[in-house]
A and B are shown apart, each in its own frame.
Chain A
Amino acid sequence: MRNKLDFGLTRLLIVLMSIMVLSTLLQVFARFIDLNVPFTEELTVYAMMWVTLFGSAYAFGLKKHVAIDALVSILDASLKWKLEVIIEFLVAVFAFLVLMIGGLWFTYITFKLGQLSPVIQIPKGWVYLAVPASGLIILIYNILNIRGILLNRK
């Protein structure tokens, strides 16, 4: 499960990062030869939002997000795993309440209002759908991480 998720996410991140770089370079060169490519700025910003959301999900899986681990590191093993489970649980609360519930409702409203992106003219809801989607992925990683902690506890 984790391997498949990691593989899918990393491929997506490579594609999104490349789109960001190429689209911005296109914008610069197009200006020097007076060519009009209006969509670059919007495309790049959307790709960046997706990189942030899906990259964050991947980073939660790796436990790479910045945290103060002073307390975790001084606890002895019998308490340590309990705190680690609590931390994973709180991340899951964030993923579920903010990203999934809040994000889904926000996406739904955007679709319902029929909001279109100013230049490319696609419903903006499609861009925002990445919020609940990343929440779901984070939740899956939380479950995998908690299982890992429980299996390795002493």
Chain B
Amino acid sequence: MILSGLEISILVLSFLILLAAGVPITVSISLSALFTLSVNILFISSATTVAQRMINGLDSFALLAIPFFILAGQIMNSGGIAARLIAFAKEIVGPIRGGLVFVNIISCTLFGAISGSAAAAASAIGSILTGKMEKEGYDKGFTTAANVTSATTGLLIPPSNVLIVYSLAAGGLSIGALFLAGYIPGVLVSLAIMVVSYLYAIKKKYPKGESWDGKKLWKTCVEALPGLMLLVIVMGGIVAGYFTATEASAIAVLYTIVLSAFYRELTLKNMSKILIQSSVTTSIVLLLVATSSAMSWTMSYGDLPQSISVALLSITDNPILVLFLINILLLLVGVFMDITPAILIFTPIFLPVVQSFGIDPIHFGIIMVLNLCIGLCTPPVGNLLFVGASVANISFQKILKPMLPLYAIMLFVLMLIMFFPKLSLWLPQLFDI
């Protein structure tokens, strides 16, 4: 069956109208899928199909890594691990001009890397550092912008929930390989943001930090080490084949519980609060996964992926141009859609097209995630932007102007990643997974 113009308009329009009115994204997605299906199929069958596709979308052991990494992240947050990371980052950047911005960026990268959640990184690090930076005369708009953009590295550097979602959407790619592929691009984004911040710090004559102190550096490093060890355990275990990504995430939960108990910052009462909070966060993410699967099914039922790829290829058959077009489309999608549904809905549409040109699915996954990360920092649907703004207690409009050079540098890194596949593929090839 091919969706007619009428059905496509119902799909797109009902989704956009519901979304703009302020209806939760999950509800907008599933209602527009329901409306589209019921044009042709009996209403009761459409409703049943949507419910069934939602449940099917959840029926996967690989998805379990998401709740576990969320839980581990929450435990780290309240277990004093974030504060130790910041202390360590502060000693690393030492006397650099604008040091606190660098502390923010490095902490976000480290925290994002061990917690796998960009929003958690932006809020944990942002809330600790905002007050300090304001006191030392930093411009709040710029520091928040740097906080928000550097938090996206958490989605590229493993463990990353969205890379797990991509692996599912791409039909079961190796999560280990995707995780390894994310390292270099993630670090590149972080470095790029530091370059912009350094230029900004010089222009604004921000204060220099204290000079390096070997003793302090060593002390904070030792204190942050147990938290950072988590990276070694999770990635080491996956790469060496001791356990799957899902099992690694459960081990991460166990490890953070033991560590926080050792720091004496975790009580039983705390723990039940953390469990409730993480199950709410989990369900918000996974309901997006469920409803997006229903939407994705509706689209492929109507042969939409096929039509889109034909349309794309009719414009040009130059692989670079097609990749370019897809990236422009994804940037637009990212502006209006959250990253999880965007990956679930658009991977089945675009991946076959780029694969027919011989582009590696792992490479494309990194391109797609980095691309959509930019959308996470833009209004109107920019989760991270709003988290960052609310933590810093500043209206998001004030972040937008300092955001411009950061958008530009992220686009630049996106180009680099696009044209040099080795940046993503070298590490997975090195470890041969």
* B280 & A55 in contact (Cβ 8 Å cutoff): yes
| Interface residue A44 (Cβ < 8 Å from any Cβ of B) | yes
B22 touches A56 (CB 8 A): no
Known: A66-B25, A67-B25. A21 touches B250 (CB 8 A): yes
Residue of B with least CB distance to A96:
B47
- Chain B residue contacts of A53, Cβ below 8 A: 283
Are A13 and B279 interface neighbours, CB within 8 A? Answer: yes
Is A48 a contact of B383 with CB atoms below 8 Å? no
State A90–B34 Cα separation when bound (angstroms). Answer: 13
* A21–B71 CB distance below 8 A: yes
Instruction: Assess whether A91 is in contact with B51, with CB atoms less than 8 Å apart.
Output: no
Given contacts A45-B59, A65-B287, A98-B51, contact A91 B34 (CB under 8 A): no
Q: Are B282 and A55 in contact (CB under 8 A)?
A: yes
Shortest C-beta distance, A47 to chain B (Å), equals 9
Shortest CB distance B348–A (Å)? 21
Q: Are A98 and B50 in contact (CB under 8 A)?
A: yes
Is B52 interfacial (CB-CB < 8 Å)? Answer: yes
Please determine whether B383 and A66 come into contact, CB atoms closer than 8 angstroms: yes
Return chain B residues, CB-CB under 8 Å to A67. Answer: 19, 22-25
B254 engages A25 (CB within 8 Å): yes
- Taking the closest CB of chain B, its distance from the CB of A52, in whole angstroms, is 4
Question: What is the minimal beta-carbon distance from B67 to any residue of chain A, in angstroms?
Answer: 6
Query: A38 at interface (Cβ–Cβ under 8 A)?
Result: no
Please tell me if the beta carbons of A17 and B67 are within 8 angstroms of each other in the complex.
yes
Question: Would you call A33 an interface residue if the criterion is a C-beta within 8 Å of the partner chain's C-beta atoms?
Answer: no
Q: Is the interface of A mostly helix, strand, loop or mixed?
A: helix
Residues of B within 8 A of A87 (CB): 21-24
What is the CB-to-nearest-CB distance from B265 to chain A, in angstroms, rounded to a whole number? 19
Whether A143 is near chain B, meaning CB under 8 Å from some CB there, is: no
Contact A24 B50 (CB under 8 A): no
A72 within 8 A of B: yes
Residue B7 at the chain A interface, CB threshold 8 Å? no
Residues of A within 8 A of B30 (CB): 94, 98
Decide if B67 touches A20 in the complex (CB within 8 Å). Answer: yes
B residues near A93, Cβ cutoff 8 Å: 31
Cβ contact within 8 Å between B22 and A71: yes
Contact with A along B57-101 (1 / 0, CB 8 A): 011110110011001000000000000000000000000000000
Partner of B20, one of A27, A64, A71, A102: A71
Number of B residues with CB within 8 Å of any CB on chain A: 57
Which residues of B are found within 8 Å of A25, using beta-carbon distances?
250-251, 254
Nearest opposing residue in chain B for A58, CB measure: B280
Report yes or no: A58 in contact with B51, Cβ–Cβ below 8 A.
Answer: no
Q: CB distance B246 to A24 under 8 Å?
A: yes
A13–B48 touching, CB < 8 Å: no
Among B270-278, B305-313, B323-331, which stretch is in contact with chain A?
B270-278
The total of chain A residues at the interface (CB under 8 A) is 54
B residues near A14, Cβ cutoff 8 Å: 272, 275-276, 279
Known: A102-B50, A106-B52. Is A41-B61 also a contact (CB below 8 A)? yes
**Residue pair B61, A45 in contact (C-beta under 8 Å):** yes
Within 8 A of B (CB), among A16-73: 16-18, 20-21, 24-25, 27-28, 41, 44-45, 48-49, 51-56, 58-60, 62, 64-72
Partner among B51, B61, B278 whose Cβ is within 8 Å of the Cβ of A106: B51
A102 touches which of B23, B49, B290 (Cβ 8 Å): B49
Candidate in B254, B275, B283 with the most chain A CB atoms within 10 angstroms: B283
Beta-carbon contact of B250 and A28 below 8 Å: yes
Whether B22 and A72, one on each chain, are in contact in the complex, defined by CB atoms closer than 8 angstroms, is: yes
Query: A13-B276, A24-B246 in contact; A52/B48 too (CB < 8 A)?
Result: no
Chain A residues within 8 Å of B284, by CB: 55-56, 59, 64-66
Q: Are B64 and A65 in touch, CB under 8 angstroms? A: no
Alpha-carbon gap, A94 to B21, bound state (A): 15
Query: Closest approach, in angstroms, between the C-beta of A64 and any C-beta of chain B?
Result: 6
Is A120 an interface residue, CB under 8 A from the partner?
no
- By a CB distance below 8 angstroms, the chain A residues around B46 are 102
Using A52-B283, A87-B21 as known contacts, say yes or no to A66 and B338 having CB atoms under 8 A apart: yes
CB-CB < 8 A to B18: which residues of A? 90
Which one of B26, B47, B250, B251 contacts A65 once the chains associate, using CB atoms below 8 Å? B26
How long is the Cα–Cα vector from A60 to B27 in the complex, in angstroms?
Answer: 11
Known: A13-B276, A21-B253. 4 other contacts (CB 8 A): A67-B24, A68-B25, A71-B22, A87-B24
What are 13 residue pairs bridging A and B, where the CB atoms are less than 8 Å apart in the complex?
A10-B276, A13-B276, A16-B279, A52-B286, A52-B290, A67-B19, A70-B20, A70-B380, A90-B21, A102-B47, A105-B47, A106-B55, A131-B54
Residues of A at the B interface (CB closer than 8 Å) are 10, 13-14, 16-18, 20-21, 24-25, 27-28, 41, 44-45, 48-49, 51-56, 58-60, 62, 64-72, 83, 86-87, 90-91, 93-94, 97-99, 101-103, 105-106, 109, 128, 131
